[in-house]
Structure 1
Amino acid sequence: MIVGDPERFALEFEISTAYPDQHFLALGLFVVHVGGKGYGVRAPDATTFGNAVDGVKTLLQNPIEPTNPILAGMSAANLAELYLDAFYRDCPENIRDDERDQTAELFLSPRCEWPNFDREFDDGSHILILAFHDCIRLVAFMNDDYQVADLSEQPVRLVEFQDVLRAWLSAFDMQRQSVLHPH
């Protein structure tokens, strides 16, 4: 099931196994669509939904803070490169090695990465959420052997972003309940 507009922003999920346990909830696939591209593993056992649900709830419950002004003015390609330098590359390509902690802090304060508690994006995907007043700029990309791949960028209004998250939580709960209690 897809909630939202995959050409802009949407959450896709499919439950393969539901659990009565409130920690795991279900097992299945979870894909985030940004600007017409999907990010996440397309396999029936890719995601433990307890973590995916917690991530979505975190986005809804914690106010999204305005993005650091240094990151706000960067292109999507430069953001993705800088992110890989700060967190993944042994030899950064765009910063000096002694700037790594300072650069990482730009992404962490305020935090602008999609909450990822269980590595839903084991395919190497990263989704950055950059907030500007009533608008969200989503920048998504794959870490393909420490190189940026499948880069996508999509602005969405904060209300649309939150509506998709709420609708996804509701749809997930309904589908999980129908799997747990078939009629």
Structure 2
Amino acid sequence: MGASGGIVGILLAAGRGSRFDPSGAQNKLLQALPAAPGQAMPSRPVVAASAANLLSVLPRVVAVVRPGAEAVATELKQLGCEVVTCDLADTGMAASLVCALGQAADAQGWIVALGDMPRVSPETIHSLQYALEQGAGIAAPMYRGKRGNPVGFSRQYLPQLLALQGDQGARGILKQYPVQEVDVDDAGILQDIDTPADLHDQGQP
């Protein structure tokens, strides 16, 4: 079955990010993320940090970008992601997810992450991967009683995922089917980059 038959990472990076910059001049995914306190690693773009967290755990990551986002696509390809352009990205997150699943439909499961959530710990991703490999149908991380992202799905939910529409992503599936909650010590599962202030806010959500 090859590497593609295992758990595949999906990175959704096709949004407009209009809350970050209503004018559209600045792509939030390309903004430099300050290095964490005491971290020697230089700052890197938001989307690169999000992708690197997935790639540090999963051998295959499919990233979805919007048409015209060449700079984002280049950043992701250089890291080792398979990049797919979703022509229907503006119709909502579901279209991007369906695009990615079409590229990795042979996987045993998927961990669906967001391109604007760069502070998710690789340990969290590994915990979700383990839960799927141990038989969980859906696995979601929990931090201090709050559910966050990314979320893992086993291939038994492929039909439901492919049927998604609009901007709800997979939330409806999480409400309708049993979810194995995975406790993690990772505030990053709740921290996304919506505004310029979020780039520097590394406190508790």
Q: TM-score range by the shorter chain?
A: under 0.3
Larger fraction in strand: 1
Of the two, which has the highest radius of gyration? 1
